[in-house]
């Protein structure tokens, strides 16, 4: 039996090395393309090992991302019950890193910040009234940032821009609330799910409420009214009320503008109904403020 000469072993090793080096850029480009098409996850860095621990990190490397994310969520139920909001946010941040294309984790992380933590800090410590509004605004801003980050991983999921739109027009929670910004997010959501007409309707509603955009919203409201009185159409009480409210400003800019005849005949009744609704809303807010003050006094009495 003839022995293989050493130079042949060397040539084989050199050939394999050159082949591997030649494949490396192709494999990297292929991996990037899979990640861009959301067919593969981005690789982890070693910092995740310190956050997960050795056992969970090994499980993640073994392909059990979903299982580890579920375990992290379950393990932090106690932190949620104890209202340890920074710990809850950190847990869901890990979940979104492990499963970035799972809507549930982005939604819950934003909800915990802008609703649960927001309400907790609103009522928890009345001894720092100057700090609370700043802190609560940070929670709302953080939730919006979380949802925007989620859109990078779930660009076709209409629920994320819908959630941003709701926060962008929530004047009770968000000190930076803006109807125009909200309308833009509703438009994004509608473009992703055109079959859901309520998304388009909310786009038009918010655009109509944005100062300076009356002329842009006017033809859209008229188109909604033209769909007819069918319950499944876009002719809603809100759209009719907005038509009446926008009409004076539109008439000043466009002298030929006119309300639909049946709407023009009901203008006083529509405005009276809207005024009654606003008064009810004002009374509700006053009751909430009174309840808030009563809770504040009760908390202060307990601390004394």
Q: What is the pLDDT of residues 179-201, one digit of tens each?
A: 999 999 999 999 999 999 999 99
pLDDT given at position 235: 93
- Please, what is the average pLDDT of the chain? 82
Flag whether pLDDT at 59 surpasses 60: no
More confident residue, 109 or 130: 109
Compute the chain's Rg from CA coordinates.
28
- Give me the percent of the chain exceeding a pLDDT of 90: 50
pLDDT band of residue 60 (cuts 50, 70, 90) is: very low
The SS3 of residue 129 is coil
Please state the rounded mean pLDDT for residues 154-170: 97
The token pair that represents 64 in the structure block: 């059990």
pLDDT given at position 24: 58
Beta carbons within 8 Å of 30's beta carbon, 6+ residues apart = none
Flag whether pLDDT at 273 surpasses 80: yes
pLDDT given at position 18: 65
Query: Residue 41 has what DSSP assignment?
Result: P
pLDDT given at position 103: 94
More confident residue, 115 or 133: 115
Stretch among 42-56, 72-86, 130-144 having the lowest mean pLDDT: 42-56
Beta carbons within 8 Å of 117's beta carbon, 6+ residues apart = 83, 85, 88, 89, 139
Are 208 and 221 in contact, with CB atoms under 8 Å apart? Answer: yes
Residues in the chain: 304
* Chain centroid to CA 194: 18
Sign of CA dihedral 55, 91, 192, 152: negative
Contacts 24+ apart (CB under 8 A), 165-174: 165/189, 165/202, 165/206, 167/114, 167/140, 167/143, 168/144, 169/206, 170/140, 173/114, 173/118, 173/136, 173/140, 174/137, 174/140
| DSSP string computed for 211-269 | TT-HHHHHHHHHHHHHT-S-TTSS--HHHHHHHHHHHHHHHHH-TT----HHHHTTHHH
């Amino acid at each position: 039996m003839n022995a293989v000469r050493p130079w042949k072993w060397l040539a084989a090793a050199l050939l394999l090395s050159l082949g591997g080096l030649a494949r490396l850029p192709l494999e990297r480009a292929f991996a990037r393309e899979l990640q861009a098409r959301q067919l593969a996850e981005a690789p982890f860095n070693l910092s995740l090992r310190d956050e997960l621990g050795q056992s969970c990190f090994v499980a993640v490397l073994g392909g059990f991302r979903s299982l580890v994310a579920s375990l992290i969520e379950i393990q932090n139920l106690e932190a949620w019950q104890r209202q340890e909001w920074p710990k809850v946010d950190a847990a869901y941040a890990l979940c979104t890193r492990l499963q970035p294309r799972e809507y549930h984790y982005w939604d819950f992380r934003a909800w915990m910040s802008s609703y649960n933590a927001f309400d907790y800090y609103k009522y928890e410590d009345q001894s720092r009234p100057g700090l609370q509004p700043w802190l609560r605004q940070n929670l709302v801003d953080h939730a919006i940032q979380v949802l925007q980050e989620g859109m990078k991983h779930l660009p076709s999921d209409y629920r994320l821009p819908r959630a941003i739109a709701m926060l962008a027009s929530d004047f009770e929670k968000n000190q930076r609330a803006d109807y125009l910004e909200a309308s833009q997010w509703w438009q994004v959501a509608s473009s992703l799910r055109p079959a859901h007409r309520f998304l388009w309707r909310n786009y038009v509603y918010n655009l109509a409420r944005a100062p300076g955009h009356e002329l842009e919203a006017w033809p859209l409201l008229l188109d909604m009214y033209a769909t007819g009185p069918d319950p499944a159409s876009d002719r809603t009480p809100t759209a009719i009320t907005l038509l009446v409210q926008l009409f004076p400003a539109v008439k000043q800019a466009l002298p030929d503008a006119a309300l639909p005849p049946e709407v023009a005949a009901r203008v006083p009744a529509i405005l009276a109904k809207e005024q009654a609704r606003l008064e009810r809303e004002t009374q509700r807010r006053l009751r909430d403020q009174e309840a808030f003050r009563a809770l504040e006094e009760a908390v202060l009495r307990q601390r004394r």
